[in-house]
Amino acid sequence: MARPPSNAATRKATTALMVTRLDATEGDVRQQRFDVVVTEEPLQILAGGPGQPSVPVTITMRTPGHDFELAVGFLWSEGILTAPHDVYEVRYCEVPPDEAQLYNVVSVRARRPLTITARTTVTTAACGICGTTSIADLERVCSARPLGSPVDAALLLALPDRLRGAQRAFDVTGGLHAAGLFESDGTLVCAREDVGRHNAVDKVIGRAVLDAQVPLHERILCVSGRASFEIVQKAAAAGIATLVAVSAPSSLAVQAAERLGMTLVGFVRDGAGNVYTGSSRVG
């Protein structure tokens, strides 16, 4: 009998299980076999500053891996962290000696006191900013993006294929979103995968915060799915002026990108795409 894959690069992001394979092309054929699915588990994010306890901020359903980046990126996107120097320590929470470390609680300690409003709902794989739906709310956190340098149309149209080449766990499961941060010349800086599209973006942004690279005015963000309002919000919070998506944007995403001076390109596939905002920057 076949054994579950044990690729170390995808072990945390994937789960092997037994399924019954149905195949009507050769009659009523049923076969027991292993399949690999994307792993989805909860992660609680805690945060606090000097003299403050670490308090719960949110619980997000995520694919394990790059959890520290996810926590920092989420706090940055929410405006709780505002400078890379804010981050003093990121760690998994300690557990009693008789309990197993499940690596499902991350605590971010800051160098300054933090103003934290805990969310009252779980952040699911489909929703990253539940309850935040107003462009006015976004503008209070993110000012208009600097226009940045012009971007080449052919380069923008090539980014999804370059991102797809970095989607290692997707190759195994077919069930993961991806986000990639690119230089203005198309060089891939960082790519992350997650069951939640917003988590993939937070992981990329969190890496940039930990590397003290924000704001990302000259970088381009490419996402494997649709461009929702939450993705625009997270890109804007990181200073990103150009967002490329394989699928469609929402109306609110387009409105937000327009108000914030961002270039938003959607439906980028097979060498074509739609520029929804900021077309003057696309050469």
What does the DSSP assignment read for 57-99?
A: EEEEEE-SS-HHHHHHHHHHHTTS--SGGGEEEEEEPP--TTS
Q: Give the bridge partners for 44, in sequence order.
A: 59, 105
Question: Is 11 a residue whose pLDDT tops 60?
Answer: no
Determine the pLDDT at residue 3. 41
Choose, from 127, 130, 142, 190, the residue flagged as catalytic. 127
Who wins on pLDDT, 147 or 55? 55
Say which range, 61-65, 174-178, 273-277, has the weakest mean pLDDT: 174-178
Tokens of 218: 């000259």
Domains of the chain, residue spans: 41-128, 153-281
What's the CA gap between 114 and 53, in Å, rounded?
10
Euclidean distance between the first and the last CA atom of the chain, given in angstroms as a whole number:
55
Determine the pLDDT at residue 67. 96
Concerning whether 142 is annotated as a catalytic residue, the answer is: no
Q: pLDDT (tens digit, 9 = 90+) per residue, 125-182? A: 445 444 344 566 666 566 556 666 789 999 999 999 999 888 776 656 666 889 999 9
Determine the pLDDT at residue 43. 94
Tokens of 152: 């080449």
Q: pLDDT (tens digit, 9 = 90+) per residue, 200-233? A: 999 999 999 999 999 999 999 999 989 999 999 9
| CA-closest candidate to residue 56, choices 42, 69, 39 | 42
Mean pLDDT of 66-88: 95
| Residues in CB range of 167: below 8 A, 6 or more apart | 176, 178, 191, 193, 224
Please state which CATH number belongs to domain 153-281: 3.40.140.10
Mean pLDDT of 181-204: 95
Which band of pLDDT confidence, cut at 50, 70 and 90, is reported for residue 120?
Answer: very low
- DSSP string of 20-46, one letter each residue: EEEETBTBSEEEEEEEEEE--EEEEEE
Who wins on pLDDT, 126 or 268? 268
What's the CA gap between 66 and 192, in Å, rounded?
8
Please state which CATH number belongs to domain 41-128: 3.10.20.10
> Do residues 271 and 252 touch, judged by C-beta distance below 8 A?
no
Helices (H), 114-246: 135-141, 153-164, 168-173, 197-210, 229-237
Residue 2 is given by DSSP the state P
- At residue 283, the 3 state secondary structure works out as coil
Question: Is 10 a residue whose pLDDT tops 50?
Answer: no
Question: From residue 68, how far is each of 104, 145, 157 by CA, in Å?
Answer: 11, 26, 31
SS3 content of the chain, % helix, strand, coil (to 5): 25, 30, 40
What's the CA gap between 193 and 4, in Å, rounded?
21
Phi/psi at 114 (5° precision): -110, 145
Determine the pLDDT at residue 173. 63
Phi/psi at 70 (5° precision): -60, -45
Phi/psi at 130 (5° precision): -50, 125
